[in-house]
A = this chain, B = another copy of it.
Amino acid sequence: MPVHKRGRDDVDTIEDGPFPKDPSRVIAISDGVFAVALTLLILDVKPPTVSQALLASAIIGTAPRLGIFALSFAIVAYYWVSHHFSFGYVRLIDRGLLWLNMLFLFTIVVLPFSAAVLADYPLAAPAITLYGANVAACSATLAIAWWYAVGKGLSINVRREERRRVAVRTMISPTLALVGIAVATIAPVASLVLFVAIPVASYTLKPTR
């Protein structure tokens, strides 16, 4: 891979084409999409429109919706942390990885929609299924992007034991999401608890060792 660096610029070009490139703009667009997604979620929590006498209880009444918002914020934040972690390994971008990252961002951008549906119907199985499927899709697309990068030699060298560890960790959030879907009709509250467990598990489990 004859990399031909030009000055202090952000883009490397190999001799025969525009790829692979350095990942700086891929990370910039990803951070931008995450920043907007994190902030857009609140638009779904509407201020109450009641008489002033009822305002206190109306504000307290927004708590469940704020709770779903907090859950979704935590899940989007979790995927940002995962993306940060995963792309910490990536050194070069090719067209495949560019589009796999876009596929992942697509699943992130759909989350505000799934979260709005869940906020409207917090205990309904179809809403829980949509939300869980969306979360599972986020995990799946990010995992595919990471394994693609490692398999294509676009990442730093990842040792065998580290790969195994990542593979195990990668299974956690889609498993929680799918179990959440599975129990949605019989125990919707348990589904929500499982969704809450996704970012919590990310924080609790050490990423290595």
A contact residues vs B (CB 8 Å cutoff): 6-7, 9-11, 13, 16-19, 21-22, 24-25, 27-29, 31-43, 45, 47-49, 52, 55-56, 59, 66, 70, 73-74, 77, 80-81, 84-85, 88, 91, 95, 98-99, 102, 105-106, 109-110, 112-113, 116-117, 120-121, 124-127, 130, 156, 203, 206-209
Quick one: copies of this chain in the complex? 4
Q: A17 contacts B121, CB within 8 Å?
A: no
- Chain B nearest CB, measured from A209 CB (Å): 6
Closest B residue to A99 using CB positions: B203
Interface of A is mostly: helix
Q: B47 contacts A116, CB within 8 Å?
A: yes
Among A27, A47, A56, A88, the most chain B Cβ lie within 10 Å of the Cβ of A47
Q: B91 contacts A6, CB within 8 Å?
A: yes
Which of B7, B19, B32 lies in contact with A35, CB distance below 8 A?
B32
Which residues of B sit under 8 angstroms from A126, Cβ to Cβ? 55-56, 59
Q: A113 contacts B18, CB within 8 Å?
A: no
